C-alpha cells in the first residue's frame, strides 16, 4: 500500500488545520471522559429516534458546516482581495471553491432545512412522530457520515478540485489525479442516500399522519412546501445517485462514461449533474418560501393572502424545475433550438415566483406588523431575492448569457438568490422556532444586531461582483493583475465578507447568551402563533401532543384562539405508543463511513468487508423485534401537569 | 398495536399501511433511477469505439432463460402472497423458496454471461457502450441479488414467527419489490437485448 497518497503536501495552512483538528478531537474526547458524558451522549443523542432531537442534530451539524464553508469563503475573498495575492496557490484555491460550494449547498443549506422540517413538520400536522422514526435516524447518520467524509478530505489525501459541478473531463482521473473527486463521488453518494430516505419518510408522514380534519388544502404553508420539496427529492436524487455511481466507476474502475476517447461523452455528465442539480436549487428554496409564509402571516396577524395560488405556484415551480437544466450550459454548443427551449422554460419560473412575492406583499398590506428578528429577515428577503430573480432572468436569456457566462455576474446572481432564499430563511426559521424546541427565545437585541451585520455586509460582499462580472472577471480566477482594474471592487467585497463573518459570530454568541440568560417561556406560544406547533408545550414532551388535535380551519390554532373552537375533541388521555431508541442507525452510518473511506483510497479488502457489514446491519435491523413501548395514561397526565406548571421533564 | 381485522393482515395496522405506502414511494424513486440508467445506455449504445457492438455481442439463448426464470418467479411470489392471505404458511414458504431459487438461477446465468463477455474481450473498460451495458445490467442484477438475501431473511422470520401482521407486511413489501424488478427486466429484455439483436 502506498502511504504517500494519504498525505497532503506543502501547505502550511493545511498542516495548521491538521493540528487544530487533532487538538479539537483530543479535547472533545478528554472532555467527554472527564465530565462522564459518554453515556449521556449515547443514550440521549446517538441512539435517539425522536424527530425533534434528530432535527436539532441536523441543525447543529449545519451550523458547524456553515462555519467550515464560511472559512472557505473568507479564504477566497482574501485571496482575491488584491491583485497578485500570494495567500493560496492555484491548486489550493481550486479545492477551496469546490468544497465551499459543496458544503454550503449539500451540507449546510439542505441539512438546515431538513433539520427544521424534522423538528416542525410532525408538530405542525398534529402528529406524534414521523412515519418511520428509525429510518429517520438512518437518514441523519448517513448525511452526517457523508459530511464528515468530505470534511476529512482536505487533510487526508486532498479535496475535490474540479468545481462543485465536477465537470468532465476536468474531474476525470487523467486531469484530477488526486483522490479528491473520489471523495466527491462517495461523500455525496452516502449523504444523498440519507436525503432520499428522508424524502420518502416525509412524504408518508405528511400524506398519512395529519391530524383529523386537516385536509390537504388546510395544511400550513410550510408543510405544503416541504411536501412538494420531498417529491422533488424523490424524483431528483436517484439521478444524482446514478451520476455519482458512474463517476465512481470512471475514476475507480476505468469505465468509459465521461472520457473523451473510447466512446465516452463528457456532456453526459453535465446533463446528468444538472438534471439533479437544478431541482436541487428548488429543494433548498421551496421550504424557505414556506418558512417565510408562516412568519409573514404570524407577524402581520393576517391570514396568508392567496393560499391556493401559493400552493399552485409551488407545484408549477417544482414541475418547471425539472425542465430547465440545460440553462447551465448554454455555451457548450447545444444549438439554438435547445437553448431557446431552455431559455423559455427558465424565464417561465419567474411567473409563479412573482405570484408568491405579490402574495407576501398583499399579506403585509394592512397587517399589524411586528418587527421581530425573524420578520426582519423575511422583509429583507423580499427585495434582495427580487434582485437575484431579475438577474436570473438576465442570465436566462441564452444569447445574453454568452456575455455573462462563467463570470462573477453569475456568482453574484446565485448568491443573491441562495443567501436570502435559503440562508436568511433558515436563520429566520431558527429564531422563530427556537423557543418551541428549547423553551426560551433568542435575545431580540442581539438578533437584530446580527441581522443588520448580515444583511448590510451581504450586499457589500456580493453587489460589487455584478460589476466585476460585467467588467469581465471570470469566476474561479485565483489571481489577477493590477492592470485588470478588478482590485478595488474585490477589496470592497472582502470587507463585506468580514462583516458577514461578524454577523454570523454574533448569531452564535446570541445562542450562547440566550441559553444562559434569557427567561424561560411559560406560555408556549411566544409569538401568538397560528399553526398547531404552538398548541403544545415548549419544550414539547416526547409524544408531542397528549391528545391529538382536531383541525377545522387553515390556521387551526389561530381560529381556536379567535373563535373559541376547541382543538381537542375530548379530554380523555390514553396510553401513547412510542418507538424505542436504537444504536443501529449510528453503527450503520459508521460502517458506511468506513466503506466510503476505503473506496476513496481503493482499499479493496476493507471495502468488501464493510460492504458485507452494511448487509449484515440491514439484516439485523430487519430481524429486530422491538416494537417500541407505551407511555401509560397516568404518566402522560403527570407529565402534562408538570409541563403546565412550567417545569421541564 | 391496534389490528384492524377488516383489512388483509399486511395492511392491518397503521404502521403496516404506512410501510406499504412508503415502499410505493420508494419504488417511485427507483423509476427515475432506472430511467436514468436506460437513458445513459441509449446515449451510449452506438458509442462502442473499438469494442464489439450490441448485435455482435448478444446471444438470445441465455437471455430467454433469464426472462423465463424471472417472469415465472414473479408469478410464484404472487402465489406465495395468495397463500399468505389464506394463512397457509407451508405453501407460502414453498412458493417463496421457488421464487428465490429462480432468482438465484437468474443471477447465475447473468454472471455466466458477464464472464463470457469478458472472455470475449468485452469489458467495462472497453467502450462507453459496454460501460453503460454492464452498469445497467449490473444494477438490476445487484437488485435481484439483494432481493435474494432479503427474501431469505424474511423466510427465516416466517419460519420462526409464522404469518403475523409484521411478517405478512414484510413479505408483501418484498413481493412489490420483486414484481418491480420483473418490470425493469421486461424493459431490459425489449430495449436492450431484442433491440440490440436486430
Every domain of chain A and the residues it spans: 1-328, 370-528
Q: Does B126 touch chain A (CB under 8 A)?
A: yes
A146: confidence class by pLDDT, cuts 50, 70, 90: very high
Pick the CATH number of B7-46+58-195 from 1.10.8.60, 3.30.70.330, 1.20.120.80, 3.30.420.60: 1.20.120.80
The dihedral through the CA atoms of A89, A91, A92, A98 has a sign that is: positive
Chain A CB contacts of B131 under 8 Å are: 246, 249-250, 255-257, 264
Q: pLDDT at position A113, please? A: 96
A10: confidence class by pLDDT, cuts 50, 70, 90: low
What tens digit of pLDDT does each residue of A576-609 get? 999 999 999 999 999 999 999 999 999 999 999 9
What tens digit of pLDDT does each residue of A30-71 get? 888 888 888 888 988 999 999 999 999 999 999 999 999 999
Q: Is A17 or A477 the better-scoring residue by pLDDT?
A: A477
Percent of chain A predicted with pLDDT > 90: 79
Whether A131 sits inside 8 A of B149 (CB atoms) is: no
The grid coordinates of residue A64 equal 458547524
- What is the CB-side half-sphere exposure of residue A111 using CA atoms within 13 A? 31
The grid coordinates of residue B88 equal 397457509
SS3 A527: coil
Chain A CB contacts of B47 under 8 Å are: 263-265
Q: Does B177 touch chain A (CB under 8 A)?
A: no
CA distance to A370, A571, B14, B168, per residue, from A633 (Å): 40, 12, 21, 31
pLDDT at A625 over 90: no
Q: pLDDT at position A643, please? A: 83
| Identity of the residue in B18, B30, B154 whose CB atom sits nearest the CB atom of A131 | B18
Q: pLDDT at position B156, please? A: 96
The per-residue pLDDT of chain A, averaged, comes to 93
Residues A83-100: what's their mean pLDDT? 92
What distance in Å separates residue B138's CA from the closest CA in chain A?
A: 12
Residues A252-275: what's their mean pLDDT? 94
Chain B CB contacts of A259 under 8 Å are: 128
Q: Does B87 touch chain A (CB under 8 A)?
A: no
CA distance to A230, A267, B130, B184, per residue, from B32 (Å): 14, 19, 21, 12
Provide the β-strand partners of residue A629.
A578
Q: pLDDT at position A1, please? A: 53
| Per-domain boundaries in chain B | 7-46+58-195
pTM: 0.95
Which parts of A421-555 fold into alpha helices (H)? 425-438, 444-471, 487-517
Size of interface A-B (CB pairs under 8 A): 122
ipTM: 0.95
What distance in Å separates residue B59's CA from the closest CA in chain A?
A: 23
Percent of chain A predicted with pLDDT > 70: 99
Q: pLDDT at position A523, please? A: 80
Low-confidence ranges of chain B (pLDDT < 50): none
Chain B CB contacts of A245 under 8 Å are: 135
CA distance A363 to A367: 7
Residues A260-266: what's their mean pLDDT? 90
Element (H, E) at A290: helix A266-300
Taking Cα atoms as reference points, which of A179, A345, A210 lies closest to residue A274?
Answer: A345
| Identity of the residue in A235, A263, A625 whose CB atom sits nearest the CB atom of B128 | A263
What distance in Å separates residue A206's CA from the closest CA in chain B?
A: 11
Residues A376-383: what's their mean pLDDT? 96
> Cis bond leading into B17, ω under 30°?
no
Q: pLDDT at position A570, please? A: 64
A97: confidence class by pLDDT, cuts 50, 70, 90: very high
Task: Return residues 45-64 of B near A (CB < 8 Å).
Answer: 47-51
Residues A166-190: what's their mean pLDDT? 93
Whether B22 sits inside 8 A of A243 (CB atoms) is: no
Q: pLDDT at position A640, please? A: 85
Whether A200 sits inside 8 A of B154 (CB atoms) is: no
Q: pLDDT at position A9, please? A: 65
A624: confidence class by pLDDT, cuts 50, 70, 90: confident
Chain A CB contacts of B30 under 8 Å are: 238
What distance in Å separates residue B60's CA from the closest CA in chain A?
A: 25
pLDDT at A642 over 90: no
The grid coordinates of residue A97 equal 471553491
Q: pLDDT at position A206, please? A: 97
Chain B CB contacts of A261 under 8 Å are: 49
Whether A208 sits inside 8 A of B157 (CB atoms) is: no
The grid coordinates of residue A297 equal 402571516
Please give the CATH number for the structural domain made up of A1-328.
Answer: 1.20.210.10
Whether A200 sits inside 8 A of B25 (CB atoms) is: yes
Whether B49 sits inside 8 A of A261 (CB atoms) is: yes
> Which of B11, B23, B25, B122 is best to mutate for the A interface (most A CBs within 10 A)?
B25
Residues A11-44: b if buried by 16+ CB within 10 A, e if exposed: beebeeeeeeeeeeeeeeeeeeeeeeeeeeeeee
pLDDT at A322 over 90: yes
How many CB atoms sit inside 10 A of residue A275's CB? 22
What distance in Å separates residue B131's CA from the closest CA in chain A?
A: 6
Amino acid at each position: 500500500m502506498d502511504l504517500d497518497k494519504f498525505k497532503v503536501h506543502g501547505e502550511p495552512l493545511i498542516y495548521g488545520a491538521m493540528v487544530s483538528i487533532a487538538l479539537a478531537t483530543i479535547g472533545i474526547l478528554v472532555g467527554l471522559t472527564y465530565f462522564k458524558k459518554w453515556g449521556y451522549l449515547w443514550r440521549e443523542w446517538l441512539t435517539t429516534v425522536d424527530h425533534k432531537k434528530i432535527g436539532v442534530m441536523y441543525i447543529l451539524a449545519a451550523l458547524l458546516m456553515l462555519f467550515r464553508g464560511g472559512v472557505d469563503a473568507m479564504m477566497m475573498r482574501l485571496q482575491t482581495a488584491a491583485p497578485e495575492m500570494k495567500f493560496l496557490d492555484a491548486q489550493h484555491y481550486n479545492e477551496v471553491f469546490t468544497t465551499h460550494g459543496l458544503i454550503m449547498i449539500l451540507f449546510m443549506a439542505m441539512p438546515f432545512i431538513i433539520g427544521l422540517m424534522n423538528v416542525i413538520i410532525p408538530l405542525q400536522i398534529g402528529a406524534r412522530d414521523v412515519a418511520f422514526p428509525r429510518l429517520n435516524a438512518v437518514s441523519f447518520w448517513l448525511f452526517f457520515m457523508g459530511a464528515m467524509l468530505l470534511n476529512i478530505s482536505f487533510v487526508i489525501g486532498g479535496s475535490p478540485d474540479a468545481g462543485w459541478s465536477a465537470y468532465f473531463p476536468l474531474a476525470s482521473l487523467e486531469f484530477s489525479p488526486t483522490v479528491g473527486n473520489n471523495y466527491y463521488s462517495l461523500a455525496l453518494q452516502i449523504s444523498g442516500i440519507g436525503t432520499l430516505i428522508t424524502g420518502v419518510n416525509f412524504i408518508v408522514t405528511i400524506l398519512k399522519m395529519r391530524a383529523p380534519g386537516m385536509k390537504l388544502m388546510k395544511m400550513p404553508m410550510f408543510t405544503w412546501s416541504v411536501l412538494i420539496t420531498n417529491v422533488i427529492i424523490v424524483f431528483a436524487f436517484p439521478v444524482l445517485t446514478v451520476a455519482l455511481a458512474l463517476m465512481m466507476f470512471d475514476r475507480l474502475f476505468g469505465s468509459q462514461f465521461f472520457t473523451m476517447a473510447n466512446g465516452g461523452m463528457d456532456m453526459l455528465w453535465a446533463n446528468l449533474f444538472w438534471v439533479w442539480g437544478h431541482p436541487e436549487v428548488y429543494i433548498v428554496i421551496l421550504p424557505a418560501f414556506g418558512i417565510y409564509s408562516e412568519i409573514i402571516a404570524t407577524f402581520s396577524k393576517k391570514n396568508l393572502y392567496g393560499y391556493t395560488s401559493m400552493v399552485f405556484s409551488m407545484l408549477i415551480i417544482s414541475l418547471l424545475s425539472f425542465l430547465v437544466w440545460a440553462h447551465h450550459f448554454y455555451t457548450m454548443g447545444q444549438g439554438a433550438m435547445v437553448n431557446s427551449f431552455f431559455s423559455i422554460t427558465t424565464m417561465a419560473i419567474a411567473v409563479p415566483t412573482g405570484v408568491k412575492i405579490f402574495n407576501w406583499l398583499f399579506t403585509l398590506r394592512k397587517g399589524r406588523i411586528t418587527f421581530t428578528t425573524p420578520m426582519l429577515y423575511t422583509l429583507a428577503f423580499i427585495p434582495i431575492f427580487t434582485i437575484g430573480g431579475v438577474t436570473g432572468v438576465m442570465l436566462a436569456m441564452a444569447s445574453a448569457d454568452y456575455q455573462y457566462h462563467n463570470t462573477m455576474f453569475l456568482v453574484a446572481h446565485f448568491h443573491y438568490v441562495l443567501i436570502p432564499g435559503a440562508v436568511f430563511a433558515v436563520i429566520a426559521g431558527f429564531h422563530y422556532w427556537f423557543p418551541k424546541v428549547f423553551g426560551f427565545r433568542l435575545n431580540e437585541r442581539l438578533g437584530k444586531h446580527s441581522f443588520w451585520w448580515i444583511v448590510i455586509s451581504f450586499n457589500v460582499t456580493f453587489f460589487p461582483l455584478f460589476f466585476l462580472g460585467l467588467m469581465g472577471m471570470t469566476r474561479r480566477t485565483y489571481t489577477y493583475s493590477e492592470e485588470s482594474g478588478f482590485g478595488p471592487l474585490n477589496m470592497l467585497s472582502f470587507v463585506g465578507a468580514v462583516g458577514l463573518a461578524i454577523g454570523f459570530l454574533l448569531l452564535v454568541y446570541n445562542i450562547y447568551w440566550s441559553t444562559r440568560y434569557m427567561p424561560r417561556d411559560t406560555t408556549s406560544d411566544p409569538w401568538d402563533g397560528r399553526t398547531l406547533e404552538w398548541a403544545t408545550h415548549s419544550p414539547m414532551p416526547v409524544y408531542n401532543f397528549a391528545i391529538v388535535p382536531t383541525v377545522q380551519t387553515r390556521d387551526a390554532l389561530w381560529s381556536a384562539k379567535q373563535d373559541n373552537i376547541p382543538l381537542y375533541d375530548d379530554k380523555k388521555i390514553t396510553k401513547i405508543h412510542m418507538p424505542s431508541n436504537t444504536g443501529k442507525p449510528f453503527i450503520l452510518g459508521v460502517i458506511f463511513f468506513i466503506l466510503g473511506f476505503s473506496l476513496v483510497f481503493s482499499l479493496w479488502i476493507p471495502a468488501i468487508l464493510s460492504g458485507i457489514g452494511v448487509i449484515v446491519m440491514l439484516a439485523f435491523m430487519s430481524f429486530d423485534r422491538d416494537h417500541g413501548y407505551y407511555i401509560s395514561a397516568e404518566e402522560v397526565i403527570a407529565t402534562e401537569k408538570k409541563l403546565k406548571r412550567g417545569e421541564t421533564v | 398495536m391496534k389490528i384492524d381485522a377488516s383489512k388483509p393482515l399486511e395492511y392491518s395496522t397503521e404502521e403496516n399501511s404506512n410501510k406499504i405506502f412508503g415502499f410505493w414511494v420508494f419504488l417511485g424513486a427507483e423509476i427515475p433511477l432506472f430511467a436514468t440508467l436506460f437513458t445513459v445506455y441509449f446515449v451510449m449504445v452506438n458509442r462502442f469505439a473499438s469494442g464489439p457492438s450490441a448485435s455482435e455481442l448478444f446471444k438470445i439463448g441465455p437471455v430467454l432463460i433469464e426472462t423465463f426464470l424471472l417472469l415465472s418467479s414473479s408469478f410464484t411470489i404472487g402465489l406465495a402472497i395468495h397463500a399468505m392471505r389464506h394463512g397457509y404458511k407451508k405453501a407460502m414458504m414453498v412458493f417463496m423458496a421457488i421464487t428465490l431459487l429462480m432468482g438465484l438461477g437468474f443471477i447465475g446465468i447473468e454472471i455466466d454471461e458477464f464472464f463470457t463477455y469478458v472472455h470475449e474481450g468485452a469489458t467495462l473498460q472497453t467502450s462507453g457502450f459496454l460501460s453503460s451495458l454492464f452498469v445497467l445490467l449490473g444494477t438490476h442484477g445487484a437488485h435481484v441479488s439483494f432481493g435474494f438475501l432479503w427474501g431469505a431473511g424474511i423466510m427465516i422470520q416466517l419460519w420462526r414467527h409464522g404469518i403475523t401482521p409484521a411478517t405478512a407486511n414484510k413479505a408483501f413489501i418484498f413481493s412489490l419489490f420483486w414484481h418491480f424488478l420483473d418490470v425493469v427486466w421486461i424493459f431490459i429484455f425489449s430495449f436492450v437485448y431484442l433491440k440490440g439483436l436486430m
